[in-house]
Copies of this chain bind each other. A is one copy, B any other.
Amino acid sequence: MKNSNRVIVSRRDRPAKEPLSRELIVQTAYELLKEQGMKGMSMRKIAKELDTGPSSLYVYVNNLEDLNSYVQDFGLGCLILPDAENGSWKERLFGALTAYFLLLVEQPGLAEISFSTIPKGDKYMELIEYILAALLEGGAGSKSAAWGTDLMLLYVTSLAYEKHSWKKHDAAKLSDIKQAFSNADSVRFPFIHSLSEELFSGDTVVMERFRWGLEVLLQGIKLDPINNRQT
């Protein structure tokens, strides 16, 4: 209609543009996610990157939420779990969780996306299986192992996301909050006042605090508070 006799010439610099595919879309999306976080991974920006319109993507992907799942899977592809033959069960457990945590910290977009997306990819199931196995080998009961796996993964994801979320805010506001804590009314909030250092020390020694949390969780799980609860 409006431009019937238009020249059908490729609108892109590169001569033969790679045809669209879900793989290509996911890769491009992940690239944007790494660079600019979830905010930069919009349908329109992905489409622009692929030199097409946003509607073209919907051939290969149902909606953004779907794409999020695929991208999460794709990102988890970089996760390398420790060899299941070597080391004690605890070393393997901590090794896997640390690898997962480091990946989320290095790619904060992945941490971001992992919170709003229910993981259902193969790689994530491998991770669950790996941790379940380690906990069971460590002597945990069925329920403790299952709930403990959930708990540990929740911990890792939350901590990584929290770390990212705090980093997003400008340093100015952050030090404002620190000040609010150390300047806390020592009458109403005596403990916050005196422990403000410790409350924020986790910010600088991330890995130490992470490791501490793992240790806490593991010790608690091993005690199995369901079976031998001490009121």
Docked CA distance A215–B222 (Å): 12
A20 at interface by CB-CB < 8 Å:
no
Is the Cβ of A209 less than 8 Å from the Cβ of B147? Answer: yes
A212-B195 in contact (CB<8A): no
Cβ of A217 and Cβ of B215 under 8 Å apart? no
Residues of B within 8 A of A157 (CB): 158
Task: Tell whether A148 pairs with B216 under 8 Å between CB atoms, given A125-B189, A132-B195, A191-B133.
Answer: yes
Interface residues of A (CB under 8 A from B): 115-116, 118, 120, 125-126, 128-129, 132-133, 136, 142-143, 145-151, 154-155, 157-159, 161-162, 165-166, 169, 173, 177, 180, 184, 188-192, 195, 198-199, 201-202, 209, 212-213, 215-221, 223, 225-226, 229
| Chain B residues closer than 8 Å to A173, beta-carbon distance | 118
Give A117 Cβ to nearest chain B Cβ, in Å: 9
Task: List chain B residues, Cβ under 8 A from A180.
Answer: 120
**Interfacial chain B residues near A215, Cβ < 8 Å:** 220, 225-226, 229
Are A146 and B199 in contact, CB atoms less than 8 angstroms apart? yes
24 contacts between A and B (CB under 8 A): A115-B161, A125-B192, A126-B188, A128-B189, A128-B199, A129-B189, A132-B192, A142-B195, A143-B198, A143-B201, A145-B191, A145-B195, A145-B198, A146-B198, A147-B198, A147-B209, A150-B202, A151-B213, A154-B155, A155-B155, A216-B221, A217-B217, A219-B219, A219-B223
